[in-house]
Chain A
Amino acid sequence: DAKTTQPNSMESNEEEPVHLPCNHSTISGTDYIHWYRQLPSQGPEYVIHGLTSNVNNRMASLAIAEDRKSSTLILHRATLRDAAVYYCIPHKRALDMRFGAGTRLTVKP
């Protein structure tokens, strides 16, 4: 399993972009980079995933470094509802998925 390093916490102002970094230097060539988030007192929810190319969806964008050893989740305009713990989890098979400590994002009004 790829080891990941994420900041313990980050703060953002509402309506501003947020860049959440993740280092995964031991990622294997077949691992996809998944991001999930967990809102308070809820189960995690899928945010986005990618393999090599940058990806966009309605929730966020994912920027993947050329060497795939790091990635950045981008929330284009943070809202109060985006306050959550964000997990970066490289894996291919669901069986290999393990949660790290994640980054706790606080959004200030």
Chain B
Amino acid sequence: GAVVSQHPSRVICKSGTSVKIECRSLDFQATTMFWYRQFPKQSLMLMATSNEGSKATYEQGVEKDKFLINHASLTLSTLTVTSAHPEDSSFYICSASGTIWGTDTQYFGPGTRLTVL
């Protein structure tokens, strides 16, 4: 299957700072990438859909000015958590979609654990 990487895998920052997370599709070109957030013991929640060269589409309740998404190339999308606060501490996961046998399949990165002190 396709490989998606994320960097960093873990980050600890102080409240009020901004953190950038990179998501790369290593062996295929991803027109669409997705960003998810997962709190402990919970399922993944879709935050936004990112299309190369255009503005991201955010899910209801996700602040677009707080979670800045840039998808400048077919292999790279970035999520910037601006002015992070402790409640933003979570596991952030990206994915890239590809089509297999007539349907879209998502390939996920390993995740980034963000801790805001």
Contact = CB atoms under 8 A, between A and B. Distances in A.
Contacts of A85: 43
Nearest to B45: A99
A46 B105 contact: yes
A42 B107 CA distance: 12
A95 B105 CA distance: 10
A23 B48 CA distance: 27
A46 B1 contact: yes
Contacts of B43: 85, 87, 99-102
B49 interface: yes
Contacts of B6: 43
Contact of B104 (A43, A44, A91, A101): A91
B14 to A, nearest CB: 24
A79 B45 CA distance: 28
A94 B34 contact: yes
Main secondary structure of the interface of B (DSSP, over half): strand
B62 to A, nearest CB: 14
Contact of A43 (B100, B101, B102, B108): B108
B116 interface: no
Contact of B105 (A38, A49, A100): A49
A106 B102 CA distance: 33
Interface string A80-97: 000001010001111101
B95 interface: yes
Contacts of A36: 106, 108
Contact of A92 (B93, B104, B109): B104
B42 to A, nearest CB: 8
B103 interface: yes
18 contacts: A32-B102, A42-B110, A43-B4, A43-B93, A43-B109, A43-B111, A46-B1, A46-B106, A49-B103, A49-B105, A51-B102, A92-B104, A94-B104, A94-B105, A94-B106, A95-B32, A98-B46, A100-B43
Interface of B: 1, 4, 6, 32, 34, 36, 43-46, 49, 91, 93-95, 97, 100-111, 113
